[in-house]
Amino acid sequence: MTDNRLVLIDLDRRMATIARRLAALVEERCSADVASSVAAFLNEWADATGPPGPEIAGTPLALLTAGLGLTGDEVFLLLLAGLPEEHEGMASTLSKLHPNGEPRPTLGLAALLLGSAAHRTELRRMLHEGTAVGSGLLATAGAGAFFDRSLIIADQVWQALHGVDAWPERLPRVAVVPPPAGLDSWLELPAVGRAAHALSTRRDCLLLVGTADETIGASRCSALTRHVGRLAVAARVAPDDGVGLALLALHAMVRDAVPVAVAGSGDGPAKEPDTSRVPAGPMMICAAPGAVLPPAGGPMLTVPIGPISIRARRDAWHVALPEVNGDLAPLASRHPLDPAVTALVARDVAVRDRSRPIGLAEVSAAIRARAGIALPAGIDLITPRAQWSDLILDEHASRLLHEAVQRLTYESVVLDDWGLRDFSRADRGVRLLLSGPPGTGKSLAAEVIADAAKTDLLVVDVARVVSKWLGDTEKNLAAVFDVAEQTQAVLFLDEADSLFATRTEVGDAHDRYANQSTSWLLQRIDHFDGLAVLATNLRRNIDAAFVRRMDFIVEFAPPDEDSRRRIWERHLPPDRLAADVDLAVLARRYEVPGAWIRNAAIGAAFRAAPEYRLIGQDDLVAALEGEYGKAVRPFPDEPAKDTRVRDERAAHLLQKAAREAEKKS
């Protein structure tokens, strides 16, 4: 871009020439009293603006003229259309010359200034078929006779010709920031190299960047344009909005930049770009894969988003957060973020308390906080509170859960540093299937795993994710998996049998669609780069292909007597229990799952609360009876207060007395 001072000098000289021609026309055509004052103002303004001089190359006007291939007459019309924007006196003068009093030049005034009658024919052709009108740079306004209509210029282009970064309101602008570190290897991809060549040679083509993520798309466009020594300007424009695309291209042209249209998520059918008004040259479109059809009237190159290597992701983290206390390799492995998102997270972390070192846990929390702002419907991101001590399982199940967390912790070492990802074709991620009756602790185990992995729990409401509409379930689940991979929160899918059900023989269209959904899920879970926990009450209903893909299968059996007693102890504060409470008797008598015990403990506490008394055995038994009722199961006989409980206490006292007597002897 030329120095802004030269931009203004060049534009002032050209506008002074237009003002002098208008002054001469006023003196020739208007009455003496009008001509003297108006012409005097116009000549005085032109003299103060500057003497005529040679045109200056490289100015926004010169770029626009060359880019569109404007004729001399079209440049004249452009300058005339901008005249009322230069001075309030110019606007007042033009309103006096306009039949409707508008502060704009009319087409008739343009014809008079251009000269001969032949120019009227040429002017009519230019304003219907010319490049300036065809590109949207100039337009006519008004419903009167043709030469009584006003000549107007595209929104905010005149301000941009002055070197001002003005922008049209109808095009929501997208910030194009300097590209982040970590994209060097991406720029070396052959497809990206072809796109770079098209940009550097200014070929007339569309470059389609296939992503619905605005941040990533703008980042790629910035990296690509800067790689070839150019800049980019971006706005949200639908591919089929021909007027919007043309206006974006004009604003990019006056800035000597590449236009980037951000099309968004691409909901609805695929659209063909309307480039009928867009001037020749490269244009980039960021849209979700499959949202844009190849244009019928010109070439299109596809710019891939990935792959981004683990080494490149590590480079991005090291550049973005050089002050982090700890090895950044696990971040690159556990959070497979695009470098553009890495840079955003680094900014989030930078505004936090800097009086203490920034640790990896804090960075991971910032990642989850950013992703949690816009979670898809049916997904909750929760911070786990349960710990290993809260989970009472048999030794085998507990060991498997510890191994799953351990695999996630050392994933970067084994797959990246030791090379097993390439050598053994090992996939990233950890997949667990938790199977067992309701209330045996599967949901609690998912929360404990998330806490042990020092991350959050991404809970999916399957009922809200599954849709009766064709393709919607896959779309919803794709968003779920994407969020889980970005945040590396533990993905928890309860009642997984409703999603991962056994495929059936195809009897109708419903069966065919259900099998297609299952096949899609098989592929997605196979390549899931995170920790996924699937829970089911009915393992036999899970498709065998899903079971084979699980890294760990943990069976949750109903708790035995000792486990039930420990669960009772875990949920009841000792100082709130009355003297008649005997948890060993409750554990022996009532063979119930842990969830029932938890509910009964809470229910008993609320029974005692109105009288501010200690929780008694009667409260616990009554609360348990309520749990049996909810499950529509017969309630066992209440333990005899005057026989079994009393006898057990008596035996305990006798044993204690015997020990004391033995000590004395």
Query: Do residues 517 and 477 lie in contact, with contact meaning Cβ atoms separated by under 8 Å?
Result: no
Query: Do residues 186 and 338 lie in contact, with contact meaning Cβ atoms separated by under 8 Å?
Result: no
* C-alpha–C-alpha distance, residues 368 and 290, integer Å: 28
What does the pLDDT read at residue 374?
A: 62
Query: Do residues 568 and 561 lie in contact, with contact meaning Cβ atoms separated by under 8 Å?
Result: no
3-state class of 506 per DSSP?
A: coil
Write down the residue that tokens 């191994």 correspond to.
403
3-state class of 306 per DSSP?
A: coil
Cα separations (Å) of 655 from 276, 580, 585, 645, 647?
A: 97, 19, 18, 16, 12
Q: What is the pLDDT of residues 308-352, one digit of tens each?
A: 877 888 888 888 888 776 666 667 766 768 888 888 888 888 776
Peptide bond preceding 179 in cis form (omega within 30 of 0): no
What does the pLDDT read at residue 256?
A: 94
Query: Do residues 349 and 325 lie in contact, with contact meaning Cβ atoms separated by under 8 Å?
Result: no
> How many alpha carbons fall within 13 Å on the CB side of residue 625?
10
* C-alpha–C-alpha distance, residues 541 and 611, integer Å: 48
What does the pLDDT read at residue 607?
A: 93
* C-alpha–C-alpha distance, residues 259 and 251, integer Å: 8
pLDDT above 70: residue 471 = no
Alpha-carbon dihedral sign for residues 436, 441, 445, 446: positive
Q: What is the pLDDT of residues 503-527, one digit of tens each?
A: 444 444 444 455 566 777 888 888 8
Q: Which contacts of 11-15 are long-range, i.e. CB under 8 A and separated by 24 or more positions?
A: 11/59, 11/61, 11/161, 11/162, 12/49, 12/50, 13/49, 13/50, 13/51, 13/52, 13/53, 13/55, 14/55, 14/61, 14/79, 15/46, 15/49, 15/79, 15/82, 15/83, 15/86
pLDDT class for 243, splitting at 50, 70, 90? very high
Query: pTM of the predicted model, to two decimals?
Result: 0.70
What is the CB neighbour count within 10 angstroms for residue 103? 18
Q: What is the pLDDT of residues 405-418, one digit of tens each?
A: 888 877 777 777 77
pLDDT above 90: residue 365 = no
Residue 559 token pair: 């708790």
pLDDT above 80: residue 642 = no
pLDDT above 90: residue 77 = yes
Average pLDDT over residues 534-548: 83
For the chain, give the mean pLDDT: 84
* C-alpha–C-alpha distance, residues 510 and 486, integer Å: 33
Average pLDDT over residues 198-203: 92
Edge to edge, what strands does the sheet with 552-555 contain?
379-382, 457-460, 490-493, 531-536, 430-435, 552-555
pLDDT class for 564, splitting at 50, 70, 90? very high
- 552 compared with 335, residue with greater pLDDT: 552
What DSSP letter does each residue of 4-33 carry, written as one string? HHHHHHHHHHHHHHHHHHHHHHHHHHS-HH
Q: What is the pLDDT of residues 622-637, one digit of tens each?
A: 999 999 999 888 888 6
Kindly give the residue spans of alpha helices, DSSP state H, lying in 230-284.
Answer: 242-254
Average pLDDT over residues 230-246: 94
Q: What is the pLDDT of residues 168-198, one digit of tens each?
A: 999 999 988 889 989 998 999 999 999 999 9
